[in-house]
Copies of this chain bind each other. A is one copy, B any other.
């Protein structure tokens, strides 16, 4: 792609003296980009690399002043100035990256499809050794990669991408444009065990389902349990990282993001627009309101009713928790 084409695509401004026909063939990091690659500076921390970069062009903000950085060689580096270099970079990343076709349109001959499954005939991809059970419904332009299993009665809406080795249990519902990464299990039985008088446990049947609404992304090796009765619900736009545990009857509000290795116990309700760090633990049967931020490794054992930032081995408003830690550290120095 030529520099003038890139500049146009990004609604940017190519620096004077640059060769508009120079050909860019890839994207690199500013420290290591080659002369035929383009790079970007979105964070001022990276401006220091400008002096030495070998990149064929650098996308910068309109405020960037190249004169402040003496180049190590005499080369005048072509710049494209844009409003938001990071957003421009994302756009370009999608355009310039080589596309890998992971799955051909059509149903692989080794996939095992039930006769009663209803599969759209618009651009569906079903990979090798995938399994589609009785009465499963699959929408338009869905891609199901090799060795994924979808059990009886599950419903997959349109434009869904499911990577290999995923398991979706019977009856669960997946919204449009959902992405699910490998190893994730959706709809396994909730952990319901009733204690008998002799100390053994009786399994409580788990008869509900999981509902994943539109535009959700779920990372690798997550577990989302089906409800005992009713639904475990992941609302529209939620983004889950890898290895997250969502127990039965949990509800996660719209546009909440959760980082890796966090676990949420049964029947807890998380609000919308929350940001939950990695390794967070949240006990069962509580509520977290909208707009709560939980820092990494926080454990929450009571409901949170006010928006704000919380942290700690037992969650508190972050300021209190940091003050306590400072006091403990100072105590230990006095003695």
Contact = CB atoms under 8 A, between A and B. Distances in A.
A116 to B, nearest CB: 12
Interface string A223-238: 1010001100000010
A239 interface: yes
Interface string A28-61: 1100100000000000000000000000000000
Given A204-B90, A217-B203, A245-B242, A281 B281 contact: no
A296 to B, nearest CB: 6
Nearest to A189: B181
A316 B333 CA distance: 13
A80 interface: no
B191 A241 contact: yes
Nearest to A109: B112
Number of copies: 3
Interface stretch (A9-17, A68-76, A258-266): A258-266
A94 interface: yes
Contacts of A93: 204-205, 207, 229
A63 interface: no
Contacts of A313: 297, 313
A182 B224 CA distance: 11
A325 B145 CA distance: 50
Interface string A312-334: 01101000100111011101100
Contact of A128 (B102, B112, B153, B171): B112
Interface residues of A, number: 104
B146 A199 contact: no
A239 B167 contact: no
B278 A279 contact: no
Given A199-B272, A203-B217, 15 more contacts: A87-B194, A90-B194, A90-B204, A97-B207, A102-B170, A110-B129, A129-B129, A147-B147, A147-B165, A181-B188, A199-B254, A261-B281, A265-B278, A297-B313, A327-B332
6 contacts: A87-B194, A191-B242, A191-B259, A201-B239, A225-B242, A316-B329
Interface of A: 27-29, 32, 86-87, 90, 93-94, 97, 100-102, 108, 110, 112, 127-129, 131, 133-134, 145-147, 149, 151-153, 163-167, 169-171, 179, 181-185, 188-189, 191, 193-194, 199-205, 207, 215, 217, 219-223, 225, 229-230, 237, 239, 241-243, 245, 247, 254-255, 257, 259-261, 263, 265, 272-273, 278-279, 281, 283, 296-297, 299, 301, 313-314, 316, 320, 323-325, 327-329, 331-332, 335
